[in-house]
Amino acid sequence: MAPFLAYEDKGPDTHRVPLVLVHGHPFDRTMWTPQLERFPGTRRVVAPDLRGYGASPTTPAVADFSGFARDIEALLDELKVESFVLAGLSMGGQIVMDCYRLFPERVRGLVLADTFPSAETPEGVRTRDAMADRLLAEGMGGYADEVLERMVAPYASAEVKAHVHGMMTATSPEGAAAALRARARRPDYAALLPRVSVPALVVVGADDTFTPVSDALALHAALPDAELHIVDGAAHMPNLERPEVFDAALEEFLARVDARQPSPAPPRL
């Protein structure tokens, strides 16, 4: 049931593998604006607003983290996108890992940007629940002001800062709160990573303090067939802060996936 999601669907159906872009929290599909401008010239690109974000409805609220993955699966069914590369940043990267857990046979490659695989700690659960309560009580404005210069580096351009701040303040507090509670209870993907049978690209901003370079190094080491790109001059959102660097790495990776024949998927966990 997920064609209710708002989405972009751009570019031609070609022999190249479609690219599916999954945004992070608390953003929307416009997070991928540079990539939505560059990549549809050569391949089909789909970028949804997750449930509770952007132009997608907040109800029924996501109650389980896998609900995001099932929404994406249903949307791609509706759009008749059979196999694809999945790219996600931060929470979007964790949703990408959940997609691979649930329907690995459809995934041709993974792009994991500024993310990490482990489940939430007990302290983290309490923190995310408390933030959900705060967003419902206060709205998004104060939170957006506080975290803006961690989402993007303090030296990021005014245009990028305005875009990121605008996405955060436009997000529904109800949608963000529901996602925070679901994310707090997500599974641990550590056991999944060594079983990934498709190529992966791990990207991280050199100045990311939410998911630092050490997280990316561990993620890269756990994946059997992965490339690592550390993007200088960027924090948590290198695809917006340094799109030319991010896109060059992504383009090279996509060319590699295009040239690779599908391989059998591992059994599901």
Among candidates 253, 193, 243, 220, which has minimal Cα distance to 17? 253
pLDDT at 45 over 50: yes
Whether 195 and 107 have beta carbons less than 8 Å apart is answered as no
Distances (CA, A) of 197 to 85, 88, 235, 254: 13, 18, 29, 16
pLDDT computed for residue 252 by the predictor: 98
Kindly tell me if the per-residue pLDDT of 107 is higher than 90.
yes
Structure tokens belonging to residue 120: 């939430």
Reported as a single tens digit per residue, the pLDDT across 159-181 is 999 999 999 999 999 999 999 99
User: For the chain, what percent of residues have pLDDT higher than 90?
Assistant: 93
Beta-carbon contacts of residue 162 (< 8 Å; ≥ 6 apart): none
Residue recorded with tokens 């929290």:
25
The confidence band for 260, taking pLDDT boundaries of 50, 70 and 90, is confident
pLDDT band at 261 (very low <50, low <70, confident <90, very high): low
Collapsing DSSP to helix, strand or coil, 19 comes out as strand
Whether residue 199 has a cis bond before it, omega within 30° of 0 = no
**Is 266 a residue whose pLDDT tops 90?**
no
- What proportion of the chain, given as a percentage, has pLDDT over 70? 96
117-149 pLDDT, tens digit per residue, is 999 999 999 999 999 999 999 999 999 999 999
Q: Tell me: the pLDDT tens digits for 189-227?
A: 999 999 999 999 999 999 999 999 999 999 999 999 999
138: which 2 tokens? Answer: 């206060």
Question: Where does the pLDDT of residue 1 fall: very low under 50, low under 70, confident under 90, or very high at 90 and above?
Answer: very low
